[in-house]
Amino acid sequence: MDEMAELVARLRSAGVEVTPEIEDVMLETPICEFVDKGIKAFYHDRPVVFLKTKEGGTKTISAPHMIVTLLHQMELTPRRNVVIIGAKGGYLASLVSKLIGREGQVLVFDPSEDVIDYVEKKTEEITNISCHLLKDFFREPISFGFPLHRVLITGQIPFIPEWIQSKIEEGGFITAPIGDEFEQNLTKFEKQSGELLETSLGPVMFGPVDIKDSEPEPISASEMADVLNSLISPLIEYELLDKSQIESIQRLVEDLMGTKDNMNYAYSDEDHPMRDLIQENEEVFHELWSKLEFVFESHLSSPGAPDHVSYKQHEDFIP
């Protein structure tokens, strides 16, 4: 039995519903055709990165259990028109294209030209997949001359844009992670009598649709102070800080509040008060981080992983 077949078997054993049709397309679609490295993690039911930006942004192909869940919830049948917003490396689009057949269409939209270029190269031999740049998420990107049967949004959004609601056909589905960057619900919308009926499929944590939004931004001294203030409370509640540690953190917060510049300058060769504060309080940060790990430690759901494999959430919590 090859690695994909073993993965599918583990997913089924864990209670993930894998239909024979989804199993067939996964077995005949090698993940190695869509990512250059990290394939082992995929077979351990983990997300894999397919693209990184120079600024530190990343885009991933979701973990297999999530891929299967999304495919199952779309209820795909032949000759469907499917819109995927958020490219997922072309892997998901390839699976969808096989499930709907040559008479169906898969339209992939993404805000990043780099992502679109990547997916076009990976799917150039698949005739029923087309890729399009999504310049404004909340405006109709192209003129659709046909009804949309299924819409899948693979990144965090606060709500479904009006143009998608208006284009989905009666009886059609929209699936999306609805919420903010910290907490979302995977939600399935079905259009019935002109209205969207919601079904919650459970809490998830997806990254943004746009790879640029995943790039780390400089943090200001006041923002860091606010973060430290918010983190102290659970540590005090769990009695994980002694009096001297609490006082050290509170002094650091006061000093940060008096520093105006952001972290852009903290990495320059010139003297900078924020950088100096961080260096002077290196031990405080180290102790704080170790205690936060204890309080907030949890594990990323990987039901298809081998029993001996375990990954901590903070390594990568993007489905």
* Closest by Cα among 155, 195, 193 to 175: 155
Q: What is the pLDDT of residue 106?
A: 97
Q: For residue range 243-283, list pLDDT tens digits in order.
A: 888 888 888 888 888 876 555 544 444 566 777 787 888 88
Q: What is the pLDDT of residue 124?
A: 96
Beta bridge partners of 52: 58
Domain 3-214: which topology?
A: Rossmann fold (3.40.50)
Q: What is the pLDDT of residue 196?
A: 96
Task: State how far the Cα of 267 lies from the Cα of 276, in Å rounded to an integer.
Answer: 11
Q: For residue range 169-220, list pLDDT tens digits in order.
A: 999 999 999 998 878 999 999 999 999 999 999 999 899 999 999 988 777 7
Q: What is the pLDDT of residue 298?
A: 46
Per-residue pLDDT band for 310 (boundaries 50, 70, 90) equals very low
pTM of the model: 0.78
Q: What is the pLDDT of residue 257?
A: 85
Give a three-class secondary structure readout of 101-129.
Answer: CCCCEEEEEECCHHHHHHHHHHCCCCCCE
Above pLDDT 90, what percent of the chain? 60
Per-residue pLDDT band for 315 (boundaries 50, 70, 90) equals very low
Q: For residue range 217-243, list pLDDT tens digits in order.
A: 777 788 888 888 877 877 888 788 888
Among 6-20, 39-53, 100-114, 294-308, the least confident range? 294-308
Report, as an integer, the average pLDDT of 42-53.
95
CB-count exposure of residue 249 (10 Å: 0-12, 13-18, 19+): buried
Give the mean pLDDT of the chain: 87
Q: What is the pLDDT of residue 312?
A: 39
Domain locations in the chain as residue ranges: 3-214, 221-280
Beta bridge partners of 84: 108, 152
Q: For residue range 52-72, list pLDDT tens digits in order.
A: 999 899 999 999 999 999 999
Q: Residue 1: is its pLDDT beyond 90?
A: no
Q: For residue range 132-149, list pLDDT tens digits in order.
A: 999 898 898 888 888 899
